[in-house]
Structure 1
């Protein structure tokens, strides 16, 4: 049995009861701070950072060169992603991370073939070129974000408000196998997204 003080109360229980009153007391968010001081944004849009985070092949020139950067780095990474989805490789890849970063900063953007094979590929190249602009202030998406990207001719046939209700062109079948196939090589020639979808 816990010791009691002169008033007959247990000091430890008194402290706990005070704690529970503090925990259980109802606090409305309005009483915590005035509405003008409540900010629910992780990082302001105009904020600039000097950290290096990411896969080397997707890093923007401003990050690769050690400069400060804003949200335009995300649009650069999106451009690398689109390039890789269409052509099957990243545009500035090299045998080492150091050479990859040097390519990102110094090498101009190049495409696997000299000329586009279709109007859609022409629009894709234009989109990729605008996203992979080495000048972050002129990069597509750096001013108005996704609104700039959505109006590009490459996405002309997409209805963005209804995109979640559209069925994908193919739903892969899941096959259960008892052994892993991660190390198996595919002997077929690699094709691009244009060969598959268009």
Structure 2
């Protein structure tokens, strides 16, 4: 799930299925310490007793009220918003014509040209 492996992992597929049916989810101490709200949420959603399972008595509101979801603006999730304008790629290609990334970085590592002392060789300000 969120940790890249099932909390019911067994030595083989059959043992994993048995663990799903008979054992409580197991999380490493490090995971529990780093993400206590997430491990609590998963453990409560996977409770073997449906009457104790998160959301059984309070429905989705009970799940939304869990501390893991603190800060989620649930009312905004249903709103459809338009993404920011992204110009078509053709505009970008024209703007970058004559620019090579490799040439740019090679020029960065070259020493600057030395002026010969004449006013024409100095950059204008």
Aligned residues: 79
**How far apart are the structure 2 equivalents of 1:148 and 1:166?**
25
Change beyond 3 A, Cα 1:166–1:158 = farther
Answering whether residue 57 of structure 2 is matched by residue 140 of structure 1, we say no
**Which residue in 2 is equivalent to 1:108?**
24
- Do the aligned partners of 1:87 and 1:112 also contact (CA within 8 Å) in 2? no
Instruction: Report 1:1-198 matches (<5 A).
Output: 84=1, 86-94=2-10, 95-96=12-13, 98-114=14-30, 115-117=32-34, 121-165=35-79
**What TM-score, normalized by structure 2, do the two folds share?**
0.54
- Do the aligned partners of 1:141 and 1:149 also contact (CA within 8 Å) in 2? yes
- Do the aligned partners of 1:141 and 1:147 also contact (CA within 8 Å) in 2? yes
Q: Taking CA–CA contacts closer than 8 Å with sequence separation of 6 or more, which of the two structures ends up with the larger relative contact order?
A: 1
Mark the runs of 5 or more structure 2 residues left unpaired by the alignment.
82-125
Mark the runs of 5 or more structure 1 residues left unpaired by the alignment.
1-83, 168-198
Specify the structure having the higher radius of gyration (Cα): 2
**Residues 75-132 of structure 1 deviation map (CA, whole Å, 9 limit, x = unaligned):** xxxxxxxxx1x20111113322x32221112222211334412xxx111111112111
- Do the aligned partners of 2:24 and 2:47 also contact (CA within 8 Å) in 1? no
Calculate the aligned-residue CA RMSD, in Å.
2.1
User: Displaced runs of 4+ in structure 1, greater than 3 A?
Assistant: 164-167
SS in 2 for 1:116: helix
